[in-house]
Amino acid sequence: MKIKDRFIEYVKIDTQSAYNPKSVPSTEKQRDLAVLLERQLKDMGAKDVYINDECCLYGRVEANYENCKAPKIGFCAHMDTTPELCGKDIKPRVIENYDGKDIVLNEEAGIVMEREKFDHLGLYIGDDLIVTDGTTLLGADDKAGVAEIMQMLEYFYEHPEVKHGEIQVFFTPDEEVGCLGANIVDETRFNPDFAYTLDAYGLGEFSYECFNAAAADVAIKGVNIHPGLSKNQMKNAILIANEYLNMLPEAETPSHTEMYEGYYHVLDFCGGVELTTMRFYIRDFDRKGFENRKEQMHRIEEFLNYKYGEDTVSVKISDTYYNMAEKILPNFEIVEAMKEGMEKAGFKPYVKPMRGGTDGSVLSQKGIPTPNMCDGSHNCHGRYEYVSIQSMEKITKAIANIVTHFAV
């Protein structure tokens, strides 16, 4: 199967996850892709292929030569797509031999991917791009990664003369809503010496460090009374919530920060006079800075409770993942092998601090050093998402090169 056809087959399956899940998977439709991948893995001779109740998919390809001393290498990608935009009825379209101009995604709706706005399009002139019709996600995050891993396995299945050690795969649900699948990994089924996630973006990008991350839920309790009689009696939760927001550093938000700069991100604000709730993401590369950010949110809580009365403001914070560099730097040879694999595949690697988290962030903390490698996608989580077919082909070669690098 060509990777174009494999990728399109995968993105046509709706696997959108859901925020605030009560169980894993957050949506049962993610299992539709897991079942397809299960069958394809078995067709390629994989062993111990298994989907558990939480929709985590495991598989293993045995080493194909005697006296193999190669390390066990894992590859991981997530099956879900973000809840941020529609992931249903995706209509992928191939733009052949891209000419460097604006791409009209949907003429009727006036949706255009502008070259001037997305200058990275210039890197792919002459390539064949897969895009959407502008009304949905594409799902390249992370079905491009899934397709590349599966295509790599197919290569080794069809070329048994190429030596390789044991390869393990782990396809996860609910990465987009908190790396939930990776958090419950069964280490009796996925236990490589090290692994790689394919969940970075443009061709050549890789990361071995990421944010420390937490989520915070803030609840503001107010007192409602008829506005005509409310002087010195009403306590408006909406206004207090707004005051809370204004006490956070104005320039430390995602839209004001880059590279190694951390932030507070309010992603949900809802309610009324009697109760208003907010949800935040807290991010910082430095562990001390990360702890300071969490403390700052509690200090604001204490101040507003002093001002408006006890239990007016409640802040609950839970850590999501930590900077994977702590576990990867002592095993840096796996990063060097990734860089070499990309160079041999004909493209230039470049490191970029990951301003987000992946399953690899969680796996690294669990003792499986897992740097993150590009899947070739761009403009993820939005209607302008696209991926180059040629990029996916090169990335498939690169991860095959990583496997053969360690075959001794």
- Cα separation of 99 and 154, whole Å? 32
Residues comprising the chain, all counted: 408
- Cα separation of 87 and 137, whole Å? 5
The answer to whether residue 166 is catalytic is no
Q: Which of 80, 199, 205, 209 is catalytic?
A: 80
Nearest to 210 by CA among 294, 292, 287: 287
- Cα separation of 191 and 210, whole Å? 22
Q: Which of 175, 284, 301, 385 is catalytic?
A: 175
**Token pair of 22, please?**
């009560």
Please check whether residue 396 is in contact with residue 3, taking contact to mean a CB–CB distance below 8 angstroms: yes
Which 8-state DSSP code applies to residue 228? Answer: G
Q: Could you give phi then psi for residue 109, rounded to 5 degrees?
A: -90, -5
- Cα separation of 47 and 168, whole Å? 9
How remote is the C-alpha of 315 from its chain's centroid?
26
Question: How do strand 386-388 and strand 129-131 relate by DSSP bridges?
Answer: antiparallel
The answer to whether residue 158 is catalytic is no
Within 8 A by CB and 6+ apart from 380, the residues are 82, 140, 141, 201
Amino acid identity at 383: R
Please check whether residue 131 is in contact with residue 170, taking contact to mean a CB–CB distance below 8 angstroms: no
The residue assigned the tokens 């996600």 is 137
In the β-sheet with 205-207, what is the strand arrangement from edge to edge? 47-51, 57-61, 167-172, 73-78, 194-200, 372-374, 205-207, 350-351
- CA 219, 224, 228, 229 torsion-angle sign: negative
- Cα separation of 84 and 385, whole Å? 13
Active site residues: 80, 175
